[in-house]
Every structure is written in structure tokens, then in C-alpha cells.
Amino acid sequence: MSAGVPQRPPGCSSQTLQKSFPILRWLPHYSLPCLKLDLIAGLTVGLTVVPQALAYADVAGLPAQYGLYSSFMGCFVYCLMGTSKDVTLGPTAIMSLLVSFYTFGDPALAVLMTFLSGCIQLAMGLLCLGFLLDFISYPVIKGFTLAVSLTIGFSQIKNLLGLHNIPQQFFLQVYDTFRRIGETRAGDATLGVLSIVALLVLKLMKSHIPKIHRGMPLWLRLCYLTVWLTATGITNILGSFVSSYPVTGSFGRTAVNAQTGVCTPAGGLFTGALVLLSLAYLTPLFFYIPKATLAAVIICAVAPMFDTKVFRTLWKVKKLDLLPFFATFLLCFWEVQYGILAGVIVSGILLLYPVARPQIKVYDQENLVVQPLSGLSFPATEYIRDRLYEVALAASPPRSVVLDCSHLNTIDYTVVAGLNDLQQEFQRKGVSLSFSDLQDPVFRVLLAAKFTGPGSFRIQGEARGKEDQQEADSSSHSSLLPAVNNSPEILAE
């Protein structure tokens, strides 16, 4: 069954109750077959979440029961407010690692962190700041996931081998684990390896269940970082009252939910109930769970996140995207937040570079035709001035230029002012700077700026020469304005 593309966070664009509480959309049509599917999926997810929650609590440096405290509130809240039937909220390996950095094993700090992060998430949702996540590119997410899965996975090796007093810091941990590998306790190691084998066998059995589709949509991968849907914020705020540590969307369990064929977010009710039952009757037994077994659960949970194919893919598809990937990946071993910040900054520079330095094609014909291959915004003003100066005014003798604006769909005042200055410079050198293929919004801005030097606007096609004389795109302007005296009284002092 397809997971579907989730809808954007509703708070901003809609005022209706139905959009705030999506349960109102599906509950009136709820049926018995749906209940059956939701029951199976909910219990399956529940059986996954209980051992995972116990194990993740260890990653967060908290007693095992805190994992379960964190696992039921999301199920109930998401049933009311969730827009996608598949997504499950709860403790995750990555969030647990992040929690461990700040709470130093103190449950009170973890619960405070849950409340505060809930408030921030809710505020971000209500202030429509979810769009900020759009600026975290896929290579950044991949670099982050890869580094964090390695950190989490390796942090469990010590538990698997029964080693004690290994430092937290990744590189020290690697060094100390290998240095003291001789101290491995045979019992722990055997139990750990057997648990991994058992989990792999179960996984192999699972892979015989026919998959509905091979590719997981991008948004599922975004579960790691997803803080929109106000639902997560409310889950964390309410969760803080039942001693939860911060939760978010779980990729692994969301995939289990989708593959088991969940029908509505009501599946979460059964997951939540199972967690509550475990809490009621199993808590006294948690003391006896071997750490090596929990380590095996965590290693098997994070192993699929260790996807090294992404190197090859980025190399083949877009080598430049390896920069934010590596910036994130490497710095995440120092501090994960620095890793993400570095990745966002590097992708931001890659994003802004073509804005500040747009590609330009120059056709040498009767006049020079200069064509920016993308839009022109204010950071490109000085650059485009320099380029036009270089190709036309610094030439001997100076040459007239037609600026082909076919790829410009908007223009700001800084660019207009820069071009106006340059047009005057052209006139002083006895040559002209004119414009062709203007789209409506750009044409209107230039008209408003009284940008009407002699022959400022050219019939489209006149510019590029013979090869596309027939072209007559209805979306761009081909008016030849009457030649009037240059009157830059607005732009010039």
C-alpha cells in the first residue's frame, strides 16, 4: 500500500477544524476492515517499539523504563492530529543520542528538555517556520544519518563485549574499545552475537513478506529531522508530564507501519495500549534485560541507516553535493549540531553562488548579445556590471549590448539601479545597452523605473539573430518603445 505524499503542515494555510484535527476526516468513514488492519499494524509496531524503546533509553543514558514512558503519548496525539496514516512518533536512536549530550543521565533534565523542545516545535509550527527545514538538503541529511548511525552503532560495541568505563567521545571510544578488546567478557559477547543472529534471521523471514514498493519516499527519510505537523510539539509538551524524553518521527517503525498495511492513524492506539500494558506488568523485569541484547537491538536498528552507497550516488549524480555531505559527516563526529550547521552553510553557499554569480552566455553578432542563464537578483548586480563592462566597454572600440532577459522572471531595485548606471556609462562611451525578451514583471519594473533610454527595449528575435527569428513566445514583451530622451531623474541624483 502506498504511503502517499503527506500534506504540508495545515496550521498556516487553513483555519478549519478539520484541518487542525485530521481525525475528523477519516473517523466518519471508519470501517471494520480498517479496524482489523489497524489492529494488526498497531500491534506489530508495538512489538517493535517495546524492545527498541528499552534499548534507546540506554543510548540516551536513562533508565530503561524512560524509553517506554516516551513511547505512548505520540501514538495517541498522532491519532488525533496526524496527517499521514503511516508516521509513528516515539523515541528514536538519533534523538536518544542527542538527548544524551545534554542531560548527562539525569531524567529530570531529559523531561525538561522534552517540555522545552515541545514548546519550540509548537511555536515553530504556529509561526509557520516549518519552511526552514527546506534549507536542509538531502546530502546534509545523508551525511548526518551516516555519521550518527556510525556513532550509535559503535557506542554499542562496548555493551556487546561487556566492557566497562569506556569514554563517551567517539574517537576516544574507538581507541579505548580496541585497546581493551582483550577484556571482552565471553558471556556478554556470545549473548550479543546470538541476539544479532536471531534478529537477522527474523529480518530475513520478514523480507519474504512481499513489499508493496521498493523506494521509500523522501519524506520518510526526513522523519529523522521532522519537527513540523504541531503534532510533535504537542506530543512532547504532553509527554513531559509523563516523564517522556524528546520524541520525533521514527523512520524504521513508520516503514513497519506502512508495510504491515495500516489503514488510518488509529493503528497508533493499539501501539500505545501495548506500551502501557508493558509498563504496567513488565517494569520489574527490566532490571534483568542483558545490556548485550539491547546492544544487538540497537545495532540492528541503526544498521540500515549506514547507507554508504550515497558516496557513489553523489559522485555520479552531482559531485558538488559531496561538499555539504562531507562537511556534515565529518563535523558530526565532533558535535552533531556543528555538523548540520556546517552542512547547511555549505549548501547555502552552493545555493547562493549561482544567485550572486549567474552563468552568462555571450553571442557575438552585430551587437553583443549577453544572456544570463538564470535570474538576476541584487547580489549579482556588481558581477553583471563587471561582466558587461568587460565584454563591451573595455573593448576597443566599445560595443553595443543587447541583454537577453528571457530567463529573468523578476528583478529587484538594486539590479535596476545598477543597470541604469551602466546604461549611462554605455551612453557616455557612445554605444547602447538595450533589453530583449522581457517577461511581464521585469518589463513593468523597468517601465516603473522610467528605464526608457533610446532603444532600451528590442523586438525579441532581433537580438539572437537568424536562428530563432520565428520564435514568438507570448509570455515575453516585444514592444519597441518610441525612442525618448534618457530621463533617469528618479534613479540618478
Site for its own copies in 331-350 (CB under 8 A): 347, 350
Q: Which stretch binds its own copies (CB under 8 A): 175-183, 185-193, 195-203, 418-426?
A: 418-426
Among 362, 425, 455, 478, binds its own copies (CB under 8 A): 425
- Hunting for cell 496525539 — which residue is that? 77
Distance between CA atoms of residues 343 and 25, nearest Å: 39
Identity of the residue, 138 or 154, whose beta carbon is nearer to its own copies in the bound complex: 138
Stretch that binds its own copies, among 33-41, 67-75, 210-218, 272-280 (CB under 8 A): 210-218
Which residue is listed with cell 551602466? 422
Work out the number of other CB atoms within 10 angstroms of the CB of residue 122: 20
Q: Does 308 bind its own copies (CB under 8 A)?
A: no
Select from 468, 479, 480, 483 the one that contacts its own copies (CB under 8 A).
Answer: 468
Residue of the chain from 321, 369, 431, 432 that contacts its own copies (CB under 8 A): 321
Q: Which range touches its own copies (CB under 8 A), out of 113-121, 167-175, 193-201, 304-312?
A: 304-312
Residue 140 C-alpha cell reads as 546534509
Stretches 45-53, 60-68, 211-219, 288-296: which one binds its own copies (CB under 8 A)?
A: 211-219
Residues with Cβ within 8 Å of 282's Cβ and at least 6 positions away in sequence, in order, are none
d(CA 209, CA 44): 14
Cβ-contact 263, 34 below 8 angstroms: yes
Q: Examine residue 383 and tell whether it contacts its own copies (CB under 8 A).
A: yes
Question: Is 241 a residue that touches its own copies (CB under 8 A)?
Answer: no
The one among 39, 119, 129, 216 contacting its own copies by CB under 8 A: 216
* Among 32, 280, 396, 467, contact with its own copies (rule: CB under 8 A): 467
User: Pairing mode, if any, of strands 401-404 and 433-436?
Assistant: parallel
**Distance between CA 438 and CA 475 in Å, rounded?**
9
- Which span (47-55, 70-78, 273-281, 301-309) binds its own copies, by CB under 8 A? 301-309
Q: Three-class SS of residue 438?
A: strand
Q: What residues numbered 42-101 form the site for its own copies, per CB under 8 A? A: none
Alpha helices (runs of H) in 231-321, residue ranges in sequence order:
231-239, 251-259, 267-282, 291-302, 309-317
Query: x/- site string to its own copies, residues 259 to 298, per CB under 8 A?
Result: ----------------------------------------
CA atoms within 13 A on the CB side of 398: 17
3-state secondary structure of 473: coil
CA–CA distances in Å: residue 429 to residues 269, 393, 399: 77, 7, 9
Q: Could you tell me the CA-to-CA distances from 56 to 13, 212, 235, 263, 286 in Å, in that order?
A: 36, 29, 18, 28, 13
Please classify residue 235 by burial: count the beta carbons closer than 10 Å to its beta carbon, then call 0-12 exposed, 13-18 middle and 19+ buried: buried
Tell me how far, at minimum, the Cβ of 96 lies from its own copies, in Å: 22
- Cβ neighbors of 274 (< 8 A, separation 6 or more) are 42, 43, 46, 47, 49, 50
Regarding 129 and contact with its own copies (CB under 8 A), the answer is: no
Is 250 an interacting residue with respect to its own copies (CB under 8 A)? no
* Nearest residue to 275 via CA among 59, 48, 63, 93: 48
Among 377, 455, 478, 481, binds its own copies (CB under 8 A): 377
Instruction: Give the range of 119-127, 146-154, 316-324, 331-339 binding its own copies by CB under 8 A.
Output: 316-324
Question: Which one, 157 or 220, has the nearer CB to its own copies?
Answer: 220
Please identify which residue in 29, 164, 208, 316 interacts with its own copies, judged by CB under 8 A: 316
| Binder of its own copies out of 181, 277, 373, 480 (CB under 8 A) | 373
Instruction: Give the footprint of its own copies on residues 138-167 (CB under 8 A).
Output: 138-139
| Contact pick of 445, 457, 461, 463 for its own copies (by CB under 8 A) | 445
Cα separation, 298 vs 284, whole angstroms: 22
Site string for its own copies, 347-366 (x = CB under 8 A): x--xxx-xxx--x-------
Rounded to a whole number of angstroms, the minimum distance from the CB of residue 270 to its own copies is 27
For the bound state, the minimum distance from the C-beta of residue 202 to its own copies, rounded and expressed in Å, comes to 19
